């Protein structure tokens, strides 16, 4: 059994967390973590890395590095923004797929593969904490597990438990 906590970064201005985003990440750290973690990672975006660093500190694991995993970050973020905006506020991946099916299908495969690599790097009973973005976090989960999940709010997350190639997916808040 291996565990992956995939969270969305908290509030930001550009690529940097706001004061409210820092406080929200600290709150998640007080109430929503399940340490110890074998791996901390972000997509490499500053806002995701800052959130991961705050959560790592809250977990009491400051000596562990936060790895940048650019494979979990879409190279076509503007296209995601445009498709998500066209699908409407709070749209899930199926609604975004109606706007840009090629985007959702290709990115789901790529991001799901990157998420599988994170799980493969974990030891048995290991747990990873990864901070990324929405809707690409949701696309990664769909690509890995085949399960559609609702859009994530800032700081919210998804827990994926892998047991012998089977996946259980649940919501973290």
* pLDDT for res 51: 98
- Which DSSP state fits 131? E
Q: What value does the mean pLDDT take over residues 73-86?
A: 95
Domain with 154 in it: what CATH number? 3.40.50.1240
- In angstroms, the CA 16 to CA 150 distance is 25
- pLDDT tens-digit profile of 22-58? 999 999 999 999 999 999 999 999 999 999 999 999 9
Q: Nearest 5°: phi and psi at 154? A: -60, 135
On the question of pLDDT at 9 being above 80, the answer is yes
For the chain, the domain total comes to: 1
Residue 17 class from Cβ within 10 Å (0-12 exposed, 13-18 middle, 19+ buried)? buried
pLDDT of residue 102: 97
Residue with tokens 């809250």: 58
pLDDT at 117 over 80: yes
Residue 173 in this model has a pLDDT that exceeds 80? no
Torsion angles phi and psi, residue 75, rounded to 5: -85, 0
Mean pLDDT of 120-144: 97
Average model confidence (pLDDT) across the chain = 96
What value does the mean pLDDT take over residues 9-13?
Answer: 96
Q: What's the number of CA atoms in the CB half-sphere (13 Å) around residue 27?
A: 13
Query: Does the pLDDT value for residue 146 go beyond 80?
Result: yes
Q: Note whether 96 and 84 are within 8 A (CB).
A: yes
Sign of the Cα torsion 55, 59, 63, 66 reads negative
Q: By C-alpha distance, which of 77, 56, 79 is closest to 67?
A: 56
pTM: 0.95
Domain that holds residue 75: 2-172
Average pLDDT for 1-20 = 96
Angle of CA points 129, 27, 130, to nearest 5°: 15
Residue 63 and residue 60: Cα distance in Å, rounded? 9
Q: Is the predicted pLDDT of residue 128 greater than 90, yes or no?
A: yes
Mean pLDDT on 99-111: 97
């Amino acid at each position: 059994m291996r565990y992956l906590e995939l969270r969305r970064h908290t509030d930001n201005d550009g690529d940097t967390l706001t004061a409210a985003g820092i406080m929200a990440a600290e709150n998640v750290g007080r109430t929503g973590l399940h340490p110890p973690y074998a791996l901390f990672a972000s997509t490499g975006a500053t806002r995701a890395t800052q959130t991961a660093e705050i959560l790592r500190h809250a977990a009491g694991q400051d000596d562990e590095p936060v790895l940048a995993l650019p494979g979990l970050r879409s190279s076509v973020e503007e296209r995601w923004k445009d498709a998500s905006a066209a699908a409407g506020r709070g749209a899930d991946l199926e609604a975004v797929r109606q706007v840009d099916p090629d985007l959702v299908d290709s990115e789901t495969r790529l991001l799901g593969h990157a998420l599988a690599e994170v799980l493969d790097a974990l030891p048995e009973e290991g747990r990873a904490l990864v901070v990324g973005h929405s809707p690409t976090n949701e696309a990664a989960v769909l690509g890995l597990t085949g399960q559609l999940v609702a859009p994530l709010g800032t700081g919210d997350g998804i827990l994926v438990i892998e047991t012998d190639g089977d996946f259980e997916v649940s919501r973290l808040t």
